[in-house]
Copies of this chain bind each other. A is one copy, B any other.
Amino acid sequence: MRSVCVIGLGLIGGSLLRAASTSGRTAWGAAPGDDASGALADGFSASSDLDEALRRAASEDALVVLAMPLPEVDGVLARVAELAPECRLSDVVSVKEPVARSVRRAVPGARYVGGHPMAGTSSSGWAAGSASLFDGAAWVTTVDERTELEVWRDVASLALDAGAHVVPVSTAEHDDAVARISHLPHVFAAVLAAVGADGGPLAMALAAGSFGDGTRVAGSNPELVRAMCEGNGTRLLSVVDDALGRLGAARGSLASTGSLAATLKAGHHGRQSLDAARAEPRNGVRVDLRAPDASDGLAAIGARGGRITALDGDIALGELP
């Protein structure tokens, strides 16, 4: 099992250091301040010395995983370029194209495969993490033309060890999908929370399930949410326009005929798609990573809603809906 060097020990990086260590890997982390001291106090290998962590990664050919908000990625990549310029590199940042672009520019020799575990809570920091955070979660791994499947396998293996299943997708498809199912929900939660609170203390006293659920993620650290959403700004803008179109249509129908039938029917149908995706029986699939079209085969599995659930040597085993 390949060693792992986690840079950034907040909720996601801290959970990854725990999960990697628990699975028996050699794993160490670096982070500024409280996160590193928290990890150390809990018995993990951690320090605030980024350079030392990267030097060790270079000498042990470890997989380096970047686990900081997008605005901090470029600063860390500058150190990677100097100390581990040809390392195996991944990340857990929630948007993939901006990270891939930064890596190409700053560390062109890095063997990079993007990652994004679809897990989290509304808390942040080392103390909020847990080795089981990724249990049952989808862990996106990017597969593009230039992807080295040997490194893809390193990343997939780490994700599987952490309890996740692996969803291989192209960078562009990932960023479009998360604009819809992660970034727009954060924008909607914020708008809903603000309109609700405008109703004053009575509205807050009456708020129950639908408002509580619909605004839950507005409780997250707004600076982290901002970094995530703004990092995917171009794609998010197009999805916000879709949402404005649908909300405007609901408004028009309510004003003219008093009906919300079309809006509510489409929403119910959409929610049923989610339930169906979660419940669907799955058919086995396998990809030989040595085959010339292996990258395309992996990306097609993700695009169809499938997943990789195990690795057996050079064979990736998975499921399709």
- Cβ–Cβ < 8 Å partners of A239 in chain B: 195
User: Are B230 and A191 in contact, CB atoms less than 8 angstroms apart?
Assistant: no
Most chain-B Cβ atoms within 10 A of its Cβ — which of A207, A233, A267? A267
Query: Would you call A53 an interface residue if the criterion is a C-beta within 8 Å of the partner chain's C-beta atoms?
Result: no
Number of interface residues of A (CB under 8 A): 101
User: Are B251 and A204 in contact, CB atoms less than 8 angstroms apart?
Assistant: no
How many copies of this chain? 2
Select A274's contact among B198, B207, B247, B254, beta carbons within 8 Å.
B207
Considering the chains assembled together, what is the distance between the CA atoms of A130 and B306 in angstroms? 38
The stretch from A2-10, A214-222, A284-292 touching chain B is: A214-222
Majority DSSP secondary structure for residues of A touching B: helix
Those of A248-267 within 8 Å (CB) of chain B: 248, 250-251, 254-255, 258-261, 263-267
User: Are A199 and B181 in contact, CB atoms less than 8 angstroms apart?
Assistant: yes
Closest 6 CB pairs of A and B: A190-B267, A201-B305, A193-B270, A197-B270, A204-B277, A218-B271
Beyond the given pairs A118-B206, A204-B277, 20 more chain A to chain B contacts, judged by CB atoms under 8 angstroms and listed by A's residue number, are A173-B202, A177-B202, A185-B214, A186-B264, A188-B192, A189-B271, A193-B270, A193-B274, A194-B267, A197-B271, A200-B305, A202-B304, A205-B302, A215-B271, A216-B271, A226-B259, A226-B261, A229-B260, A240-B251, A240-B254
